[in-house]
Amino acid sequence: MSKPGLQDLEVVAAVARKASFRAAALELGMSTTAVSNAVGKLETHLGVRLFNRTTRSVSLSETGRLFVDSIGPALQDIHRAMDSARSKQSIPAGTLRINSYATAAREIFSPLLLEFLKRYPQVHIDLVTEGRLVDIVAEGFDIGVRRADLVPSDMIAISLGRPQRNVVVGSADYFERHGTPSSPIDLLDHQCVRVRLPNGALFRWRFEKDGEPLLIDVKGPITLDEASLARGTVRDGVALGYVMEASVRDDIKSGRLICVLEEWMPPPDELCIYYPGRRNPSAAHRAFVELARELGSRSRRGTG
């Protein structure tokens, strides 16, 4: 059997971080079998068990915890050295891993991501869309995409313009049957789509008027954790929804959905890319940030 290499150490670190062989495999772009084999090879080489495995969970053994804590700084040093080498590239190349939520990804897909690939065909973009907020550094992403108010304070943020606004919407059929709310308090007498956040909490609808915030714990016939299902429920006239305007723009234009309580909605936040400060970013990373700045400038001029 060949000696363990850098990739095997990366695999062990990913399994420890995710507490899951499957999740580590998804992050690394490997099969679960390949991840399991890499861990097994390293354990055989060391003669110790790094992980305690059951049919339901994976956790570090005490020896495994000490091992992962020891190799962590070394892996960071190796990655810094690799970043330094990549920063000397004259032509952007390699892979950029980007984390976004789905609505934002749709907003920037053509003007930013596809435009970037046209300009720099030697770069591969690995885009992951999910609702939960992630630590992009801990989870191996180069760049995140979120609203400005959700960008961590220790990150460098680049505004893309493209203000993101929430709206309360319903179908004409719903309003014919149930009437139209004139204030957020009226929603307590309406059927509303309840939304479960990635952390398991129920989202309270947010409003604001004259600088005063207001949170409404709505009631309704269904609780969902997927935005497209919520939009479908609203289109079918079952309930009202609190959604991102960009995700229902076409429905509003066509008249399939109608906005209400617009004067109560919080002010919009701009969309941003964000990333940690790095001494030696890769040529691909620098090029992506520059294009993001260009997109933000165009958006503010109203041409993007």
CATH number of the domain located at residue range(s) 166-264 in this protein: 3.40.190.290
Rounded CA gap, 60 and 71, in Å? 14
- Classify 6-86 by CATH class: mainly alpha
- Residue 255 half-sphere exposure, CB side, CA atoms within 13 Å? 2
pLDDT at 57: 83
Query: Would you say residue 89 has pLDDT above 70?
Result: no
Domain assignments of the chain as residue spans, ordered by start: 6-86, 94-162+270-301, 166-264
> Within 10 A of 130 (CB to CB), how many other CB atoms are there?
11
Considering only residues 184 and 55, tell me which one the structure prediction assigns the higher pLDDT. 184
Q: Which amino acid is at 3?
A: K
CATH 2.10.60.10 for domain 94-162+270-301, yes or no, is no
Is pTM beyond 0.75? Reply is no
Banded model confidence at residue 297, pLDDT cuts 50, 70, 90:
confident
Lowest mean pLDDT among 186-190, 260-264, 272-276, 281-285: 281-285
What is the per-residue pLDDT across 160-179, written as a single tens digit (0 to 9) for each?
A: 877 888 999 999 999 999 99
Token pair recorded at residue 240: 């009202």
Question: Is 7 strand, coil or helix?
Answer: helix
Full 3-state SS string of 251-299:
HHHHCCCEEECHHHCCCCECEEEEECCCCCCCHHHHHHHHHHHHHHHHH
Same fold, 94-162+270-301 and 166-264: yes
Q: Cα torsion for 281, 282, 284, 290, to the nearest 10°? A: 30
pLDDT at 226: 82
